[in-house]
Structure formats: C-alpha cells, structure tokens
Amino acid sequence: MALFEKEIPSLKNVSIVDNVVKFLIDAIISGDLRPGDKLPSEVDFSQKFGVGRNAIREAIKVLVTYGILEVRSRAEGTYVCIGFSDNMLDPLVYGIILEQGSSDNIIELRRIIEVGTMQVAIQNATEDDINRLGEIYEELAKALIHDHPDPKDILYLDCMFHEQVERSVHNPLLMKISSMITKLTKFSRLQTIEILIKTNQKQYLIDTHYNLYNTIKERDLNRVSNVVEKSFQHWRIIVDKDARMQY
C-alpha cells in the first residue's frame, strides 16, 4: 500500500500514539490517504510501526473523536471521513479558551472573520439572501422595541442574523468556522445584551444590526470595517473587563 511507502517517523522522545496520529494526519494532508479511503488493519499498522496494536487503536480513537476517521464495523474497518464534522472544531475551541491572553485573541479572531465574511457576502449575496437578512433584522428590531425584551430571545435573533450573513457567502466551510466563533462568544454576547437592555441602550443594537444589513444591501465594501467595529464597541468592553470569562 502506498501509505507504507513513506518513511515511518522515529518514535524517540515522542508519544507513540501522538506519532501515529501525526503520521495519519500528514498522510491525509499529503493525499496519501483520501476521504473515503480504508485504513490498513491494526495488524499491518503495528507491524510497520513496530509497536503494539493497542497504540494503533488509541491513535485511531483520537482521530475518530476529532471526526477525521470513522470505524464502520469490525468487519468493514476504519475509513477516512467524507466531509466536515463539527467535532473537528472542538479541539480548536478548547485550545483558544485555554490560551493565555485569549480575550485579545478572540476579539481579533472574531473581527477578522466578520470583516471577511461581510466583504464576501457583499459580493456573493443573492437578492433572496438580502431579503431574508432584512426579515431577521425586522424581527430583531421589533423584539427590542418591547419594554422588557428577554436577552436570550435577542441573542437568538442576533445569532440568526449573523448566520444569515454567513449563509450569504455560500461557503459551507465558513459556516463551520463561524459556528466555532459563536460557541466561543455566546456567553459574552449575552452579557452585553443584558447590560444594553438594563441601561436602556436598545437602540444601539437596532442601529448596529441595521448598519450591517444596509451595508450588504447597498453592497458598500468601503463601510465594512467601520460598521463591524461599531458593532463590537460594547461587546469588546465586556470581554476586556474579565479576561478569564467563559466566552
């Protein structure tokens, strides 16, 4: 099998399981293993690596957890997954949370993703995309007009609004990455909404979402950075206030 024609890396000073995981990931990146390919048996792997079958089994479990491999059955064997799995993003999410100084990192990451998303949405959005975005904006504005809107309802509509912007790009991979950003920022966004409602700044939420919507509707690339920065104004303060918070 072509996979085993590649040089097996040295196992010195490296966890055997980690080394097998790295070998398989490198093989997928290089194209030696492709989506849908069946992996060699545990026996073949253990003989080629010169390690016990248990180490091979543990490495496969790691990659199954990440959504990279799938074990169909003992009889069928193990295969490289076809398509993207949400599990692939989980290690990245956890890594960002644990990263020192992650509040600054998550602010910058969200800004980069949202500015880029807006720019491409302006170019790719259909009229149906823009109309749907306008409908969600109207729902959000209507909910905020009430005397005592529920922050969780507003957060739900906020997430719907941003998901529609992401759909307007027509790139499934972007949707997956953006779902990670939402997972990381949901808690701090809810806190921001709660504070804005309590301090009677609901109009800020209405205005910032309108500006985002109108920038896409008018396909105005020059306004993107400015409207995204303004939409982050209060959220950034909340995140900076407590760098240890669970986003």
Q: What is the mean pLDDT of residues 121-133?
A: 98
Task: Read off the pLDDT band of 12 (50, 70, 90).
Answer: very low
Q: Please say whether the beta carbons of 216 and 125 come within 8 A.
A: yes
Q: Please say whether the beta carbons of 157 and 140 come within 8 A.
A: yes
Check whether 6 has a pLDDT greater than 80: no
Give dist(CA 4, CA 137) in Å, integer. Answer: 55
* Average pLDDT score over the chain: 86
pLDDT the model gives residue 244? 46
Give dist(CA 203, CA 213) in Å, integer. Answer: 15
Give dist(CA 193, CA 198) in Å, integer. Answer: 9
Task: Read off the pLDDT band of 221 (50, 70, 90).
Answer: very high
Same fold, 2-83 and 88-241: no
pLDDT the model gives residue 16? 84
Query: 88-241: what fold?
Result: Four Helix Bundle (Hemerythrin (Met), subunit A) (1.20.120)
Check whether 147 has a pLDDT greater than 70: yes
Verdict on whether the full-model pTM lies above 0.95: no
Q: What are phi and psi of 49, to 5 degrees?
A: -80, -20
The residues facing 71 across adjacent strands are 78
Q: Where are the domains of the chain?
A: 2-83, 88-241
Distances, alpha carbon 142 to alpha carbons 138, 157, 205, in Å: 6, 11, 11
Q: What is the mean pLDDT of residues 173-200?
A: 89
pLDDT the model gives residue 76? 86
Please write the tens of the pLDDT for every residue from 153-175.
Answer: 999 999 999 999 999 999 988 88
CATH class of 2-83: mainly alpha
Q: What are phi and psi of 220, to 5 degrees?
A: -100, 90
Give dist(CA 51, CA 15) in Å, integer. Answer: 11
Distances, alpha carbon 114 to alpha carbons 108, 162, 227, in Å: 10, 9, 10
What is the Rg, in whole angstroms, of the alpha carbon atoms belonging to the chain? 23
Give dist(CA 225, CA 220) in Å, integer. Answer: 11
